[in-house]
Amino acid sequence: MFRVQPYMTLLQIIELNPQSEEVFRQYEEELGSCLLCHNLFDSLENIAQMYRLDIEQIFCRIQALNQPTKG
């Protein structure tokens, strides 16, 4: 199972889990800044510090993408 690590760059995360782009696009809307344009090579930890984001919340959002939906 894919597990996000704080030291991983956005590019690494998206390469390993293309669905995670959706999570980063949601943050872009909230921040009013294109993370994938300006921070693609920054670590998730650095981005969380830079934009004062809750890194645990980011982990949870990405992990939620990997959970099977009940239906």
Residue-range domain boundaries for the chain: 10-65
pLDDT at 9: 97
Q: What is the dihedral of CA 55, 50, 34, 20, to 10 degrees?
A: -20
Per-residue pLDDT in tens (0 to 9) along the chain, 71 residues = 678 899 999 999 999 999 999 999 999 999 999 999 999 999 999 999 999 999 999 999 998 987 765 65
Cα separation, 20 vs 65, in Å, equals 7
pLDDT the model gives residue 69: 59
**Global pTM value:** 0.85
